[in-house]
Amino acid sequence: MAETLDQIFVIGKGWLVAILVGWFPPEWQETVGAVFSTVITVAAMLSVFLLLFGITTVLERKGLGRIQNRYGPNRVGPWGFLQFVADGIKALIKEDVVPRAADRWVHFLAPIVLLVCVIATFAVLPVGRNMVPVDLDAGLLFFFAAGAASELAVFMAGWASRNKYSLFGAMRAIAQMISYEVPLILSAVPVVMMVGSLSTVRVVEAQAVYAGGWAQWHLFTPWGVVGLLLFLIAATAEMNRSPFDLPEGESELVAGYFTEYSGFKFAMFFIAEYLGMLAMSAMAVTLFLGGWSAPFSFLTWVPSWIWFFGKLMVLVALFIWVRGTVPRLRMDQLMNFAWKFLLPMALINIAVAGVWHFMTPGVVRWVVTAGALLLAYQGLGRSFALRRPKRVYQYAN
């Protein structure tokens, strides 16, 4: 029964493909079956994550309302949970205003390119046992490459708008995304070193091994804890979420690179941001939190997809909490933090992971690796603080 519940979506897809293929001649069935299987998988992934996007927007608005001592959405649907449907309808029927001087084709394509790049990252995420759209040998490389392509869409939006605020916002966003992409990728390198594979499926399977009743999650190691923290911080900046939402600093740049967008085009940027948060959270779960595996062997009866989406929503709640409580950084602080703290810390974490791998398991290995990371944190933190010039406030005479 537990195995059937765990594989219910895999079984359901196989049953549906078998019915559809039965309508075609035998010589076509293999090709048609592959096509139907791909279409069903893509449709299911898009449906699940787009629904999750809508629910997440409502949960975030409710959570921020609680943090700020006010009401969140509470009118449309039960407890306000259909607010995202009303917002989507409103975005669809709003007028699409395009600046007269804008490059209309590039202006039109920018949000589409951004959304396609973000959706492509879901292709290599294993959301459950035997539930991955594409099992690539270089799945991690594909994920980071598809995510990096979104920088082109950001520049397209800023440049095509023919607006100085949009262009400044785009250049600021590109500088930020490139800067934080380096520690983001380096934070995943220790996982690749330990697993010996770039496949996301192999990464999860390496953690779904139980010793003494505990799963071998990478989180349960010193380098795994540091790697997860580095990944989440860099991912927050990569997604332009608070406190790293400088590209759309309202007090400085109106709305950043999408200042000149309205209607559903603006909504597409909004969708891409939240889908990016879900994709980054899912990759963090895959790399450090065991993916779809249970933390203890006696909990393996719980379906794997429930574990995956449960962990995913915990990280989403963390992102919402941070947005509601941490103030926005200055641009100089943002860039210094990436190059002077996160990058060296990620490189040190790679070296510590190598030491962990070659040392004999035991208390000494924990003490040596954890101590090295704590010393690195203290040293980099102090030097980073000392490098910052003292701010002097001057008043006009």
Q: Quick check: helix, strand or coil at residue 313?
A: helix
Of 333, 317, 313, nearest in space to 325 by CA: 317
Give pTM, 2 decimals.
Answer: 0.91
Pair of tokens at residue 55: 């629910």
Of 372, 61, 62, nearest in space to 226 by CA: 372
Give the total residue count for the chain: 397
Distances (CA, A) of 14 to 11, 21, 308: 5, 10, 22
Buried b (16+ CB within 10 A) or exposed e, 260-277: bbebbbbbbbbbbbbbbb
At residue 6, the pLDDT reads 80
Residues paired with 215 in a beta bridge: 210
Instruction: Give, rounded to a whole angstrom, the gap between the first and last alpha carbons of the chain.
Output: 79
Pair of tokens at residue 147: 């995510």
Residue 307 CA to residue 302 CA, distance in Å, equals 7
Residue 184 CA to residue 174 CA, distance in Å, equals 15
Using only C-alpha atoms, the chain has a radius of gyration, in whole angstroms, of: 23
At residue 161, the pLDDT reads 81
At residue 205, the pLDDT reads 92
Pair of tokens at residue 291: 């993916």
At residue 251, the pLDDT reads 57
CB 304 within 8 A of CB 293: yes
Which stretches in the chain have pLDDT values below 50?
Answer: none
Residue 272 CA to residue 48 CA, distance in Å, equals 15
The phi and psi torsions of 214 (rounded to 5 degrees) equal: -100, 145
Q: At CA 119, angle to CA 118 and CA 123, rounded to 5? A: 115
CB 173 within 8 A of CB 154: yes
385-390 contacts at long range (C-beta below 8 A, 24 or more positions apart): 387/336, 387/340, 388/333, 388/336
Residue 24 CA to residue 77 CA, distance in Å, equals 43
- Is the bond preceding residue 243 a cis peptide, omega within 30 degrees? yes
Pair of tokens at residue 255: 């709305």
At residue 201, the pLDDT reads 93
How many CB atoms sit inside 10 A of residue 311's CB?
A: 22
